[in-house]
Amino acid sequence: MKISTILDHIDSGHMALPEFQRGYVWNRDQVRGLFDSLYRRHPVGGLLVWATESKTATHRGDGPLAAGVVKLLLDGQQRMTSLYGVVRGRPPKFFDGNAQTFTGLRFHLDSETFEFYQPVKMKDEPRWVDVTELMQKGTAGLGEFVARLSGQPEMVTKVGDYVGRLSRLLGITDVDLHIEEVTGADKSLDVVVDIFNRVNSGGTKLSKGDLALAKICAEWPEGREAMKAKLKEWSKADYRFNLDWLLRSVNTVLTGEAKFQHLHEKTADEVKDALARSTRHIDTILNLIGGRLGLDHDQVFFGRFGVPVMARYLDQRQGRRLGPMGEKERDKLLFWFVQAAMWGRFSGSTESYIDQDLAALEGEDGGLEKLLEQLRLWHGGLRAEPGHFTGWSLGARFYPVLYLLTRMGEAKDWGTGLPLKAGMLGRMSRLEVHHIFPKSQLYKRKYPKTDVNALANFCFLTKDTNLDIRDRLPEVYFRDVERAHPGALASQWIPSDEALWKIDRFRDFLEARKELLAAELNRRMEDLLHGDTRWLAGAAAALPTAVAVGGGITSEAEELELEALNDWVESQGLPRGEVAYDFADPQTGDQKAVFDLAWPSGVQEELSQPVAVLLNEEAATISLASQAGFRCFTRTEDFKRYVAAEILGAGAAA
């Protein structure tokens, strides 16, 4: 079927998007690649559609479906959305994404390449053709484009070639795409979703939550938007969650079960009510965790799958009309949350462990104490040991614990002497990770990255203080801090033995500070228990197994090169990348690798693909980044060329 006919079918409601499909996720690089392939008549793949009766079809968006049999896109959404957006000049009615991704596509008549509009480079240059304008004017508008070109003396001799290229560009809508249909009375929603997942085995599969949400939206079409609105509200407060996670909380509140299959039997009204209750409980939980524990933003919010369990607990309390939660009960619930997160309660079989915890809340003997007892039986002793702080880098599980201790305790900023408690400074952007022993000094002395970025070498300070200390050694600046703000060093668990402040005793310093951190963590956990320390009794918890993590900055020279590259990017008016970006499993949170410098949302956020600069890395790390969708560069010069050519335009300085 011709692309033009497919676009007409979308307009008429004969082709649409099934409710279970995710939104539009392509970036500008992918849109350009699609149009380049179509212009050169390279194959771009066919479409897979689900042919079904419109009266029973649940589709995305507010556009009405045509009567009779309609075709719902199972495979090809991203391509057809991009084509529709560029050809029609607007997104289709089922659109859910960033329309700027396909806005402003231009085609150069000499180089026959596609780029997005750049005023300085393209303004008043007739060889840069607005693809959408050409598509909308069609063959009848060719004369207008020819007139523009003929008015330029240096282009007159090339007009014939240009007309051929414009015609070829217009001919994209005449390209035939093969369409394969899934049809038949036996093709239930579950069967079709299974087919979809098999076809999209190389991409992001639909989760069980997607299927549950599709069934909910069949009765409550506004359900998805209602949930997304709440997610957006939390995102503004620096907590970024996804639909699956929110739906999990709705499910636990409504059914007392983790598995989404239990949600399928519920009515739209029951789901609406559960959404209202669960979001109210989550608001309470976030306020408790942010206010009492100080975990006030997404990057330190570990153990998020403990929240659905907590939401169920709060809902049960409300159902029993127990009144406001007292301080001791509140803190005991927070103690469970921190302990479950620290020991990775939900990093394995998430549904199974949530179900076990939900079961502990049920029945006459169920409740918070049974929940705590189950956690202790599962893990063993809940008291921390110095070895638990052996991890390194921001991806380590105990990194949020260090932040929690800073926010809960008496930690003070070394520049101002002011406390860093939760609520005192507002957003996390006001605090920065500080390397107590400077990275540059450690790299000079050939310390490995696991020592340089050890958790025990981290503390949190205000940005100004971090900048003021720069690369001075502790044996120098510690004395200045103690003189200006007595007790500020001890408040951040710095060993009092000044001999350990010297860089040749760095590893001894780390061991001594780990002991202080473990003691502080146990003290804070005792505070949450209000003296009921029986939950901390028992054998010490097992020390974490060392996991080999690839990547990471390995020398001062590398770090200086990356910082210089970041400065260059900023000088081009673009956002700085994240140095030593921790790439983690999106489901479990387990650290997989450290990328030297990364733009996980693209140099142009959401418009260009994720990018990683990986200097002197092993092939395994580069492969991991590539498989995760990052465009990888192993030399800064190559990355600059990419930014100059594909982000800023070929005329930018490199």
Query: Per-residue pLDDT tens for 186-196?
Result: 666 667 766 76
Q: Tell whether the model's pLDDT for residue 426 goes beyond 50.
A: no
Least confident residue range of 202-211, 385-394, 517-526: 202-211
Task: Single out the residue of 369, 493, 470, 355 nearest to residue 415, CA to CA.
Answer: 470
pLDDT tens digit sequence for 82-97:
999 999 999 999 888 8
Which residues, including other chains, have CB under 8 Å from residue 637's CB and lie 6 or more apart? none
Task: Name the DSSP letter for residue 43.
Answer: -
**pLDDT band for position 397 (50/70/90)?**
confident
Least confident residue range of 93-102, 206-215, 530-539: 206-215
Average pLDDT across the chain, whole number: 87
Mean of the pLDDT values across residues 427-454?
84
- Concatenated DSSP letters for 84-129? HHHHHSS--TT--S-GGGGSSEEEETTT--EEE--HHHHTT-TTEE
What's the pLDDT at 652?
A: 37
Per-state percent for the chain, helix, strand, coil, to nearest 5: 55, 10, 35
For 188, 299, 360, the CA distances from 553, given in Å and listed in that order, are: 51, 21, 45
Token couple for 210: 């997607």
Higher-pLDDT residue of 380, 336: 336
Q: Tell whether the model's pLDDT for residue 555 goes beyond 90.
A: no
Distance (Å, rounded) from C-alpha 236 to C-alpha 239?
Answer: 7
Q: Which helix (H) or strand (E) holds 195?
A: helix 189-199
- For residues 460 and 431, the answer to whether their CB atoms sit within 8 Å is yes
Which residues, including other chains, have CB under 8 Å from residue 261's CB and lie 6 or more apart? 208, 212
Beta-bridge partner residues of 116? 105
17 in helix, strand or coil? Answer: coil
Q: Tell whether the model's pLDDT for residue 606 goes beyond 70.
A: no
**pLDDT band for position 422 (50/70/90)?**
low
Beta-bridge partner residues of 180? 48
**pTM for the full predicted model:** 0.75
Distance (Å, rounded) from C-alpha 120 to C-alpha 79?
Answer: 29
Return the HEC string of 463-532. HHHHHHHCCCCHHHHHHHHHHHCCCHHHHCCCCCCHHHHCHHHHHHHHHHHHHHHHHHHHHHHHHHHCCC
What's the pLDDT at 21?
A: 74
Task: Name the DSSP letter for residue 431.
Answer: E
Distance (Å, rounded) from C-alpha 611 to C-alpha 617?
Answer: 15
Q: Which of 56-65, 340-349, 547-556 has the highest mean pLDDT?
A: 340-349
Amino acid at position 409, single letter: G
Token couple for 236: 């503004």
What's the pLDDT at 589?
A: 53
- For residues 190 and 212, the answer to whether their CB atoms sit within 8 Å is no
**pLDDT band for position 428 (50/70/90)?**
very low
Mean of the pLDDT values across residues 637-653?
74
List the chain domain ranges.
3-174, 207-379, 387-536, 550-648
Task: Single out the residue of 102, 52, 63 nearest to residue 606, CA to CA.
Answer: 102
pLDDT tens digit sequence for 130-146:
999 999 999 888 888 88
CA atoms 419, 458, 568, 36: torsion sign: negative
- For residues 169 and 106, the answer to whether their CB atoms sit within 8 Å is no
Task: Name the DSSP letter for residue 630.
Answer: P
pLDDT tens digit sequence for 624-644:
899 888 999 999 999 999 988
Burial class (CB in 10 A: 0-12, 13-18, 19+), 394: buried
Higher-pLDDT residue of 197, 321: 321
pLDDT tens digit sequence for 47-63:
988 888 888 777 877 77
What's the pLDDT at 653?
A: 34
- For residues 599 and 568, the answer to whether their CB atoms sit within 8 Å is no
**Number of other CB atoms surrounding residue 160 within 10 Å:** 10
Distance (Å, rounded) from C-alpha 419 to C-alpha 434?
Answer: 16
% of the chain residues with pLDDT over 70? 90
What's the pLDDT at 650?
A: 40
Mean of the pLDDT values across residues 464-469?
90
CA atoms 615, 619, 624, 625: torsion sign: positive
Angle subtended at Cα 442 by Cα 570 and Cα 406, rounded to the nearest 5 degrees? 75
What's the pLDDT at 546?
A: 46
pLDDT tens digit sequence for 530-552:
988 888 877 666 655 545 566 67
pLDDT tens digit sequence for 17-40:
887 777 888 888 889 999 999 999
The torsion angles phi and psi of 357, rounded to 5 degrees, stand at: -70, -35
Which residues, including other chains, have CB under 8 Å from residue 94's CB and lie 6 or more apart? 16, 17, 59, 60, 61, 63
What's the pLDDT at 72?
A: 87
CA atoms 487, 492, 495, 501: torsion sign: negative
Task: Single out the residue of 177, 143, 156, 274 nearest to residue 216, CA to CA.
Answer: 274
Token couple for 649: 């335009």
Our measurement of the distance from residue 431's CA atom to the centroid of its chain's CA atoms, rounded to an integer in Å, reads 21
Mean of the pLDDT values across residues 404-425?
86
First CA to last CA distance, the chain: 44
Task: Name the DSSP letter for residue 292.
Answer: I
What's the pLDDT at 130?
A: 94
